[in-house]
Amino acid sequence: MKTKKALLIVDVQNDFCPGGSLAIKEGNDIVPVINELMDKVDVVITTQDWHPEGSTHFEDWPVHCVADTKGSELNPKLNKQKIDQKVLKGTRDDNPGYSAFDATNISLEDYLKEQDVGSLYVVGLATDYCVRASALDALKLGFHTYVVTDAIAAVNLKEGDGKKALQEMYKAGGILIEAKDV
Ligand code: VGL
């Protein structure tokens, strides 16, 4: 039986935080909560949206998280020392890379299996896009998947998108939990 717990920190990058090109209001507020969670797990993984310049993905979104720019860097307040594995996604034009399992620098599924991870705690940005897609894929792949509700934030292009995504993840078998209960 896979026994280890992993924290999957989705896209806590400058462009998704206040001051960034696709800023989510609460982007900075979740960082201290995430830093504390790092001590409660065995493996810490970060994902980064990592788009080529001129990506067709930018027909749907403002230009954001272009590879090797300030905007694609992790939030400076995130504790980098505890990161075991970085994952890059959205690196090619044929896939928007919403899900951490679409990463191209490694296979996240293989990595988690090698590390003996059975449970994933998903946190980060944004609830209605990359958190949602990553959690739904984790559930499909059979991981015990927790979504830490006070360590995520939504874009909410349409009002209620974040809530809808939470319901979807719950219905698919995701466990909604608060950071204090991890
Ligand atoms: C994301 C919108 C566009 C995310 C990525 O990280 O959730 N949202 N690209």
pLDDT tens figures, 56-106 = 999 999 999 999 999 999 999 999 999 999 999 999 988 899 999 999 999
Give tens-digit pLDDT for 115-168: 999 999 999 999 999 999 999 999 999 999 999 999 999 999 999 999 999 999
For residue 140, the one-letter residue type is K
Q: Which atom of ligand 1 is nearest to the CA of 128?
A: 7
Atom 6 of ligand 1, nearest CA residue: 130
125 Cβ below 6 A of ligand 1:
yes
Residue of 22, 72, 131 best suited for mutating to test ligand 1, as the one with most atoms within 8 Å of CB = 22
Question: Confidence class of residue 20 from pLDDT cuts 50, 70 and 90?
Answer: very high
Q: Which atom of ligand 1 is nearest to the CA of 16?
A: 6
* CATH number of the domain to which 74 belongs: 3.40.50.850
Question: Confidence class of residue 2 from pLDDT cuts 50, 70 and 90?
Answer: confident
- How long, in residues, is the chain? 182
**Structural domain harbouring 45:** 4-181
Residue of 30, 75, 98, 166 best suited for mutating to test ligand 1, as the one with most atoms within 8 Å of CB = 98
Residue of 64, 75, 130 best suited for mutating to test ligand 1, as the one with most atoms within 8 Å of CB = 130
Residue with tokens 């960082």, as numbered in its chain: 31
Contact yes or no for 37/179 (Cβ under 8 A): yes
Q: What's the domain count of the chain? A: 1
Q: How many angstroms is it from 92 CA to the middle of ligand 1?
A: 15
Q: Please, where are the H alpha helices in the chain?
A: 30-37, 108-114, 132-140, 161-171
Q: For the whole model, what pTM was predicted?
A: 0.98
DSSP 3-state assignment of 94?
A: coil
Q: Which atom of ligand 1 is nearest to the CA of 11?
A: 6
Atom 2 of ligand 1, nearest CA residue: 129
- Does residue 1 carry a pLDDT above 80? no
pLDDT the model gives residue 172:
98
Q: Which residues are CB-neighbours of 37 under 8 A, at least 6 positions away? A: 7, 121, 123, 148, 151, 179, 182
Catalytic residue numbers read 11, 89, 130
Determine how β-strand 117-125 pairs with β-strand 4-10: parallel
